[in-house]
Structure 1
């Protein structure tokens, strides 16, 4: 089980689990797909063909330069090839084209202010047109919050080390639960981070099935180590929105929803706003646990799951007590209202006792420590 935790809640519930946060998470940017690379490094809203072509060419050149195989394999390298490349090479290449001066083949005459015989130069075809791209790339490379993605460790970590880390296969600890704390990941790269991890897990299942079937053509169990991906606050990854910043995570998670069961990879999505979750994913879910919902639109989504004769159950949802839920799906013979017992060890998500706290005396806050923690991110 791999839990995507964006509010630092689940380490308390699974104290023995493998735990990864933004300080220990290492994801190699070079393992991003071509579409993910463009979404992360380019201003996709600008639809600038110059920056897209320059970026693509530089990535491929860098991959070929670092590749140690034969020439035939080198010639097959493309933007989606999961091979290392140096993002600083891409920056230097873009900077060079953005400031390029080209020799015209002519020279200055003696009457010109320039020295006689000095070659005439003119601006290159991309001179000044890549400034926004260069600035964007520089800002990302220098943003220390993105060290887990663009730092030195992300350049040197291997494919195998990355998979072992996110699957929880550490040498000294065997635990079936991995909590990935994404609370320290900047929101603007949250989609890409979740997309990459999700896609790697899906492709792991796909290739693991191929290996098992190759070893035994009669194999009936595609994956003897099935994986459950848990997306807390799922509307932040797979919303109904068509904005480009959600495109990568939606594609990865929708693919798992539609095809993952074939490869032993399944989903659990938790959200307070089911109406904001991608309908593609919603339609693939087999079981639903619906707790108190007061929004009529959200209630309407749940109502669609029930036969007309049981539609009155929805009317009870706004009055559900804590822990009460409507259970619908293949797991039960009939839709039922159930009481869910409290966890033995609960997540760190208990409601704050506002009334008690507001009756207490004035508290002095350590603003300077809050500032230091804020700036450390």
Structure 2
């Protein structure tokens, strides 16, 4: 009976993984009834079994075509039109059945005349069973073509991997991200081990997940802003970052957008000077002594351009203690080109022939008034100025190569104080919760690029330490609208900074698995994201993609897709995606789980007619019923 009902046809051609099958003439109905069950007949996108001896090879039908059946006697009159044609299926082999398990890959290739069959329900379920032994399943949705078939994924195979979620705006990308992690938190959220060992950092560029219940109720949200005045922002609204976390080569390099080969070594020397100074018994007096020595060296300089350049740097250190320091100083001295040195102005009582006379300069008293700032980032900027003075005096560096890093750090300082609590006693952003959402919706563009890099880097470094101490800890970094930070085509920044920014995340995606760290990226524009990052992803959720460049980017980097799945990308309905990757064994089109509305991200498309059809009286009545304060 199985031979009669389920047989499709026989193989007539084998070209590597591509196989052609001629279909038996009785197999043209859409469904078959077998053992009381309705089974889908052969069609493009469905699976087929090829029997080669005791081997059961599984393939997917990618296309079909018809040819004239020349085996029929031409002199014979055809009884039916269908007898004139031969239906041929083009199949791509995917894997094989071994016992009650489906394995991806090629064990053996079929041979000509091997028979092909429709899968039984048991075999169909086996092919779609993605749960490895010992793993915990979570349901992510249903098969789009067979909504009665649940699609479950193993927690370890999915969340202990790098995930890519891609799709055009309105395709359900953010909804899928929320659905995946909501399913995870529903399954494990109350477990003490999960609360203790699992950490999730979500970088939210558009404020979609900072709602009270988005994904889960239990989370820590940092709703950062640079739009308010600094006095209007409390420390609880800022990211905590203590002194040890600030004065770090990598952190300062990130904040100053330092280049790897020139500016970063300079920052390293400044931090070494900072640490050396603060290790002294009287660090402030020690630093004042350094300032005095540099001041004398500047006044003794023989290069006019360099001397005034260095005075500008020195003035930046002293100006907050002595208003008009440089102006007052230049009222007493002037540059003599013929002698290439500073000399007293006419009428001045000061002589600069001896070192003692220079040290007696009255304006010099401003240096004695210097005091360390409480804010360690601003204090470090003073050390950066001292270091650049030193480097320029000994010709170790050029001003035009180093100054941009200091200027960028200074220009960001005011906004950084709005989003980071530099005086925090801790740098633990999780504050006892598993999930942290960093909402960047109200943050300036340059800070929006800096904060994710800073937070991800610091959290990853802490995770590396925690993982070495206990291999049970894990960190999932989730970046929604990832093209904002992982793009390699941005024109807003220098190439060197762009390379450095991408290197930080590329290190996480290439090395993070060894330290229990995994990256989830969601984006509308996969073509904008670094190809290194996309190619290192293990699992893909591909929603509707229309732009040719985006589709090409997926084609080049995702080797798991068959032609049918690939060609369906531009026409996928909202909420439906192609799941491909290591956790799924074969590509499947999945309709994602429907979320409880309270857990949905704030990314729904507004319904214009709802507001357009309301009149003024309807709005007043509604707001009075809900006891709202009227805005008019």
What TM-score does the superposition give when structure 2 sets the normalisation length?
0.43
Any idea what the Cα deviations from partners look like across 1:180-221, whole Å, max 9, x if unmatched? Answer: 212233221223321222222222232223334xxxxxxxxx
3-state SS in 2 of match to 1:119 = coil
Is 1:204 the equivalent of 2:462? yes
Structure 1 regions of 5+ residues with no counterpart?
70-90, 213-222, 363-377
Deviates more, 1:275-284 or 1:245-254: 245-254
Match of 1:332 among 563, 567, 584: 584
Give 1:303 deviation, angstroms.
2.7
Report if aligned partners of 1:233, 1:271 keep a CA contact under 8 Å in 2. yes
**Match of residue 215 from structure 1:** none
**Match of residue 228 from structure 1:** 476
Structure index of larger Rg: 2
Any idea what the Cα deviations from partners look like across 1:29-75, whole Å, max 9, x if unmatched? Answer: 85365355245336869x9x7x8887655443333222379xxxxxx
Report if aligned partners of 1:107, 1:118 keep a CA contact under 8 Å in 2. no
3-state SS in 2 of match to 1:179 = strand
1:92-111 matched pairs, under 5 angstroms:
95-96=316-317
- Cα distance change, pair 323–60 in 1 and its aligned pair in 2 (3 A): same
3-state SS in 2 of match to 1:181 = strand
3-state SS in 2 of match to 1:347 = coil
3-state SS in 2 of match to 1:316 = helix
**Match of residue 440 from structure 2:** 182
CA distance in 2, matches of 1:4, 1:335: 28
Give 1:339 deviation, angstroms.
0.4
Match of 2:512 among 226, 243, 260: 260
Match of 1:17 among 206, 210, 219: 219
Q: What is the RMSD of the two structures over their aligned residues, measured on CA atoms? A: 4.1
Give 1:266 deviation, angstroms.
0.3
Any idea what the Cα deviations from partners look like across 1:265-295, whole Å, max 9, x if unmatched? Answer: 0011000111111111111111100001101
CA distance in 2, matches of 1:268, 1:132: 33
CA distance in 1, matches of 2:247, 2:531: 26
CA distance in 2, matches of 1:7, 1:107: 56
Report if aligned partners of 1:235, 1:276 keep a CA contact under 8 Å in 2. yes
3-state SS in 2 of match to 1:194 = helix
- Cα distance change, pair 93–361 in 1 and its aligned pair in 2 (3 A): farther
Report if aligned partners of 2:202, 2:437 keep a CA contact under 8 Å in 1. yes
Give 1:227 deviation, angstroms.
1.4
Structure 2 regions of 5+ residues with no counterpart?
1-199, 225-236, 282-311, 320-325, 359-388, 394-398, 617-632
3-state SS in 1 of match to 2:512 = helix
**Match of residue 600 from structure 2:** 346
- Cα distance change, pair 335–94 in 1 and its aligned pair in 2 (3 A): farther
CA distance in 1, matches of 2:258, 2:583: 45
CA distance in 2, matches of 1:280, 1:53: 27
CA distance in 1, matches of 2:317, 2:255: 21
3-state SS in 2 of match to 1:183 = strand
May I ask how many residue pairs the two structures share in their alignment?
310
Match of 1:240 among 478, 488, 492: 488
Match of 2:611 among 352, 357, 368: 357
Is 1:157 the equivalent of 2:424? yes
Deviates more, 1:333-342 or 1:248-257: 248-257
Report if aligned partners of 2:257, 2:497 keep a CA contact under 8 Å in 1. no
Give 1:145 deviation, angstroms.
5.6
Report if aligned partners of 2:201, 2:435 keep a CA contact under 8 Å in 1. yes
Deviates more, 1:57-66 or 1:15-24: 57-66
Is 1:270 the equivalent of 2:482? no
- Cα distance change, pair 244–188 in 1 and its aligned pair in 2 (3 A): farther
More strand by share: 2
Report if aligned partners of 1:21, 1:182 keep a CA contact under 8 Å in 2. yes
- Cα distance change, pair 115–277 in 1 and its aligned pair in 2 (3 A): closer
Report if aligned partners of 2:467, 2:474 keep a CA contact under 8 Å in 1. no
1:1-377 matched pairs, under 5 angstroms:
1-12=200-211, 13=214, 14-22=216-224, 23-28=237-242, 31=246, 33-34=248-249, 36-38=251-253, 40-41=255-256, 57-67=269-279, 95-96=316-317, 113-115=346-348, 118-119=351-352, 138-141=410-413, 143-144=414-415, 146-149=417-420, 153-154=421-422, 156-158=423-425, 161-162=426-427, 164-165=428-429, 168-170=430-432, 175-212=433-470, 223-241=471-489, 243-304=495-556, 305-306=558-559, 310-344=562-596, 345-358=599-612
Give 1:254 deviation, angstroms.
0.8
Give 1:169 deviation, angstroms.
4.0
3-state SS in 2 of match to 1:349 = coil
3-state SS in 1 of match to 2:606 = coil
**Match of residue 76 from structure 1:** none
